[in-house]
């Protein structure tokens, strides 16, 4: 397996739990110095893949390397080069932020003086200096997560595995974690990010692998994945359901494909090439015909559209947000 330019490689990974196949021939290639997103719903195999790549569990088939090292035969060497942040913060809420980092430094055999120095460096890097001597129990969710990231960076790992790091965080806290991740990559760290949040993958990752039922079903840049669904789309929302057939005919004149309609949302949309001309023509014609429009505009495909097209269903987080 060649690793030129890649920090993480996996080919045909398999993992079984009894009759269940958590991974069923999973492939992955992560370029060094980037954020690579691993996107999929609960049960898709994301966490299992991370546990194998971080040497926490053994694979049942296939092969994987991290930094050119085989995760099976060279597990000890792999562990010395990686960091791992799980779905829930692993810091002690009784201790202060500084005490947590110093404790982790001692656990990594840095020695007392070096552990204190490294803790100070990380507190500054993750913008936690002002809260360094406060109990972690008083930290916000975003601050706790940033401290958890700092703890995973004690030895400055070449590769950092982030397994759904913003699960349960509010939007502000999530943004704080995103800023911290960007700073890590700017410093040369490679990040493999598993997430259910489509916006998170879109904002952070330069490349995304979509996993479903233990297999890689797509691998591309965010824009490349969106282009699989199609380019820009003109979208019209009408006030009256009875106007939908008329809108379909108008949109069909400027579209590159058959318009789609949703009678529940009173929405008609279709792909277009000349986006501005198409939008102008549709708006003018509908106005001339007296069709009452609630909204009209241009829309790019989202990662949710991609996921729906690839898997036949939306991610659980999208479904929960829609039901909220």
Q: Which two tokens stand for residue 125?
A: 């890097």
pLDDT reported for residue 218: 93
128 by DSSP, 3-state: which?
coil
The rounded percent of the chain whose pLDDT value lies above 70 is 94
CA 81, 86, 89, 90 torsion-angle sign: negative
pLDDT reported for residue 319: 43
Residues 84/157, Cβ–Cβ less than 8 Å: no
* Mean predicted confidence (pLDDT) in 209-225: 92
- pLDDT of 43 > 50? The answer is yes
Tens digits of per-residue pLDDT, 79-107? Answer: 989 998 877 778 899 999 999 999 999 99
How would residue 316 be classed by pLDDT, with cut points 50, 70 and 90?
low
* Mean predicted confidence (pLDDT) in 275-297: 95
* Alpha-helical segments (H) within the chain: 46-53, 75-79, 97-107, 112-125, 141-152, 171-186, 198-204, 222-229, 244-252, 275-288, 303-311, 316-323
Residue 176 and residue 182: Cα distance in Å, rounded? 10
- pLDDT of 236 > 90? The answer is yes
pTM: 0.77
Altogether, the residues listed in the chain come to a count of 324
Residue 44 and residue 71: Cα distance in Å, rounded? 21
Most confident of 83-87, 96-100, 141-145, 225-229: 96-100
Mean pLDDT of the chain: 89
Residue 98 and residue 123: Cα distance in Å, rounded? 7
* 293 DSSP β-pair partners: 238
Task: Out of 65-69, 172-176, 237-241, pick the least confident.
Answer: 172-176
Residues 150/101, Cβ–Cβ less than 8 Å: yes
Residues 98/92, Cβ–Cβ less than 8 Å: no
Most confident of 155-169, 217-231, 281-295, 309-323: 281-295
* Mean predicted confidence (pLDDT) in 236-247: 96
pLDDT reported for residue 324: 38
* Mean predicted confidence (pLDDT) in 311-322: 52
How would residue 3 be classed by pLDDT, with cut points 50, 70 and 90?
low
* Interstrand relation of 61-66 and 20-31 (parallel, antiparallel or unpaired): unpaired
- Tell me, what DSSP letter sits at residue 111? -
How would residue 323 be classed by pLDDT, with cut points 50, 70 and 90?
very low
pLDDT reported for residue 131: 95
- pLDDT of 123 > 80? The answer is yes
- pLDDT of 124 > 60? The answer is yes
Tens digits of per-residue pLDDT, 248-283? Answer: 999 999 998 889 999 999 999 998 888 899 999 999
């Amino acid at each position: 397996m060649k690793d030129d330019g890649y920090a993480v490689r996996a080919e045909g990974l398999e993992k079984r739990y009894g009759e269940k196949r958590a991974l069923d021939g999973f492939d992955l290639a992560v370029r060094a110095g980037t954020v690579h997103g691993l996107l999929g719903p609960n049960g898709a195999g994301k966490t299992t893949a991370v546990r194998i790549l971080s040497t926490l569990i053994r694979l049942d088939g296939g092969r994987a390397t991290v930094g050119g090292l085989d995760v099976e035969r060279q597990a000890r060497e792999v562990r010395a080069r990686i960091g791992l942040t799980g779905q829930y913060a692993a810091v002690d809420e009784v201790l202060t932020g500084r005490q947590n980092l110093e404790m982790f430094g001692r656990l990594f055999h840095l020695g007392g003086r070096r552990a204190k120095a490294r803790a100070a460096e990380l507190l500054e890097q993750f913008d936690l200096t002002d809260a360094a001597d406060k109990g972690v129990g008083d930290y916000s969710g975003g601050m706790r997560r940033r401290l958890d990231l700092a703890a995973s960076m004690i030895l400055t790992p070449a590769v950092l595995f982030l397994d759904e790091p913003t699960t349960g965080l509010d939007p502000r806290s999530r943004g704080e974690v995103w800023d911290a991740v960007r700073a890590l990559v700017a410093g040369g760290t490679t990040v493999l990010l598993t997430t259910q949040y489509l916006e998170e993958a879109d904002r952070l990752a330069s490349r995304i692998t979509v996993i479903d039922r233990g297999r890689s079903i797509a691998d591309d840049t965010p824009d490349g994945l969106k282009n699989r669904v199609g380019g820009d789309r003109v979208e019209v929302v009408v006030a009256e359901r009875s106007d939908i057939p008329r809108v379909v005919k108008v949109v069909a004149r400027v579209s590159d494909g058959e318009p789609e309609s949703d009678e529940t949302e009173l929405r008609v949309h279709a792909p277009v090439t000349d986006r501005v001309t198409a939008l102008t023509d549709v708006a003018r014609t509908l106005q001339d015909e007296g069709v009452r429009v609630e909204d009209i505009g241009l829309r790019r495909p989202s990662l949710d559209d991609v996921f729906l097209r690839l898997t036949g269903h939306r991610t659980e987080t999208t479904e929960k947000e829609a039901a909220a």
